[in-house]
Amino acid sequence: MLQFESWKKILVLLVTVLGIAYAAPNAIPGDGAEGGGFLPGQKINLGLDLQGGSHLLLRVDMDVVVNERLEGMAETVRLEFRQNNLRFSGLAVRDDAVNISIRKPEDDTAARAVFAEFGPAVSITADGTAFRLAFTEQGLIDLQSQTIEQSMEIIRRRIDPDGTKEPVIQRQGADRVLVQLPGVDDPEEIKRLLGRTAKLTFQLVDTSITAQEVRQRGRAPSGSVLLPADDDSGEAFVVEKRVMVSGELLESAQASFDQNNRPA
Q: Are residues 241 and 216 in the same domain?
A: yes
Confidence at 15, pLDDT banded by 50, 70, 90: confident
Name which of 89-98, 190-199, 208-217, 230-239 the model is least confident about: 190-199
Sheet-wide strand order for 130-135: 88-93, 98-102, 130-135, 122-127
User: What pLDDT does 33 receive?
Assistant: 47
User: What pLDDT does 103 receive?
Assistant: 95
Q: Are residues 56 and 183 in the same domain?
A: yes
Q: Tell me: pLDDT of 255 over 90.
A: no
Q: Give how many domains the chain has, as a whole number.
A: 4
Burial 183-197 (b: 16+ CB within 10 A, else e): bbeeeeebeeebeee
CB 39 within 8 A of CB 28: no
Q: Are residues 177 and 129 in the same domain?
A: no
User: What pLDDT does 111 receive?
Assistant: 96
Confidence at 196, pLDDT banded by 50, 70, 90: low
Q: Are residues 72 and 112 in the same domain?
A: yes
Q: Burial, 76: exposed, middle or buried (Cβ in 10 Å; 0-12, 13-18, 19+)?
A: middle
Q: Tell me: pLDDT of 198 over 70.
A: no
Mean predicted lDDT score pLDDT of the chain? 81
Q: Are residues 71 and 125 in the same domain?
A: yes
- Rounded (5°) CA angle 104-105-108: 105
Q: Classify residue 6: in a domain, yes or no.
A: no
Q: Classify residue 120: in a domain, yes or no.
A: yes
User: Collapsing DSSP states into helix, strand and coil, what is residue 58?
Assistant: strand
Bridge partners for 239 per DSSP: 205, 225
Confidence at 126, pLDDT banded by 50, 70, 90: very high
Q: Classify residue 28: in a domain, yes or no.
A: yes
Q: Classify residue 56: in a domain, yes or no.
A: yes
Which of the listed ranges 32-36, 143-147, 240-244 does the model predict with the highest average pLDDT? Answer: 143-147
User: What pLDDT does 84 receive?
Assistant: 93
Q: Classify residue 228: in a domain, yes or no.
A: yes
Cα–Cα distance for residue pair 79/191, rounded to 1 Å: 39
> What average pLDDT score do residues 89-96 get?
94
Boundaries of domain holding 233: 201-247
User: What CATH number does the domain containing 97 carry?
Assistant: 3.30.1240
Q: Are residues 55 and 165 in the same domain?
A: yes
Phi-psi category of residue 223: left, alpha or beta, with phi > 0 → left and psi -120 to 50 → alpha: left
Q: Tell me: pLDDT of 97 over 90.
A: yes
> What average pLDDT score do residues 153-169 get?
80
Q: Tell me: pLDDT of 67 over 70.
A: yes
User: What CATH number does the domain containing 188 carry?
Assistant: 3.30.70.3400
Percent of residues, the chain, with pLDDT higher than 90: 32
Q: Between 229 and 51, where is the model more confident?
A: 229
φ, ψ of residue 122 in degrees (nearest 5): -120, 130
Q: Between 221 and 4, where is the model more confident?
A: 221
User: What pLDDT does 11 receive?
Assistant: 84
